[in-house]
Structure 1
Amino acid sequence: MRLERITPGNLEAAIAISVCSDQEDLVEPVVKSLAEAYVHSQYAWPRLILDGEQPVGFVMGFLDIPWGPDDDTDDIRSGIWRLNIAADAQGKGYGRYAVEALCDEIRARGGKRAYVTWEPRPGGPEEFYLKLGFQPTGERSDDQTVGVLEL
């Protein structure tokens, strides 16, 4: 398994990643993530998840982003912005691999914590993130639970 930057050569493969139909309301499609990465290029870290040469998912981190109502905050955070694992590739460790690789990147940049948000509902990713060690902070962001993992 490996992560690869999004390039003209793998753009179509990245855009083609689609999650299970019952997860579509939980995570934006890759094409929207790539548009957001373009607009927020100073913070976004989009990567294609590959198993050999087979695209199996997409992860986008946010790195060193001011957290709060304005950009003058001292609360600077990094973490998981999006995680899309292809419907036929779920349950095979690709999500765990992508989260761990993103956490390695955060550590390499001097980060001590990784953050994520999730929709608290049946069928949502809460159990996945809790199994990886994320803990709810008690904060909410856009009606989602904020979780943190100490690195």
Structure 2
Amino acid sequence: MELRAIDPRNYEAALQIAVRPDQADLVAPVVKSLAEAYVYGDQAWPRLVYDGDELVGFVMAFLDIPWTDPDDTDRRSGLWRLNIAADHQGKGYGSFAVEAVCAEIRSRGGAQAYVTYHAREGGPAPFYARLGFHPTGETADGETVAVRDLT
């Protein structure tokens, strides 16, 4: 498994990545993520997840973003988006992608990684808990905020 940058050769394939229909309310489509990556420039870190030559998913980190407003001194980094294609879920690609995001944050001097998610039955809370994230007690846009220590 490896992460690759998005470029003119693979962006069309990236746009075709779709999660299972029962997950569509949990994560925005890749096209929205790419628009956000364009707007947020250096604060967004979008990558494609490959297994050999096969594209299996998309992941995007946020890096050193003010948490509540542009003047906020509370700046955080973490997992912004994770889209593993429906037919590739349950094979370790999501865990690989999250670990790669955590490694990137750590390489930039970060000590914590954050994620937000919808806390509903069938949602990703158990997945993130298995990877070491625990709820902070905060919410953001109605989603649970969780954090993982990277030290």
Match of 2:45 in 1: 45
Cα drift, residue 134 of structure 1: 0.1
Match of 1:122 in 2: 121
- Return the letter of the residue paired with 2:100: A
Report the Cα distance in structure 2 between the residues aligned to 1:67 and 1:31, rounded to whole angstroms: 23
| Partner deviation per Cα, 1:10-44 (whole Å, 9 max, x = no partner) | 10111111000100111000011101111111311
Cα drift, residue 129 of structure 1: 0.3
Identify which range, 109-118 or 9-18, moves more after superposition.
9-18
The number of equivalent residue pairs is: 150
Q: Percent of aligned positions with the same letter in both sequences?
A: 65
**SS of residue matched to 1:42:** helix
Q: TM-score, normalised by structure 2?
A: 0.98
Cα drift, residue 8 of structure 1: 0.5
Report the Cα distance in structure 1 between the residues aligned to 2:122 and 2:13, rounded to whole angstroms: 26
Q: TM-score, normalised by structure 1?
A: 0.98
Match of 1:35 in 2: 35
Give every structure 1 segment of 4 or more consecutive aligned residues whose post-TM-superposition deviation is greater than 3 Å. Answer: none
- Return the letter of the residue paired with 1:9: R
**SS of residue matched to 2:48:** strand
Match of 2:138 in 1: 139
Match of 1:112 in 2: 111
Correspondences of 1:10-25 after superposition (within 5 Å)? 10-25=10-25
**SS of residue matched to 2:13:** helix
**SS of residue matched to 2:9:** coil
Cα drift, residue 71 of structure 1: 1.9
Match of 2:96 in 1: 97
| Partner deviation per Cα, 1:55-83 (whole Å, 9 max, x = no partner) | 00000000011112x22222110000000
Report the Cα distance in structure 2 between the residues aligned to 1:74 and 1:112, rounded to whole angstroms: 16
**SS of residue matched to 2:41:** coil
**SS of residue matched to 2:42:** coil
Report the Cα distance in structure 1 between the residues aligned to 2:116 and 2:135, rounded to whole angstroms: 9
Match of 2:54 in 1: 54
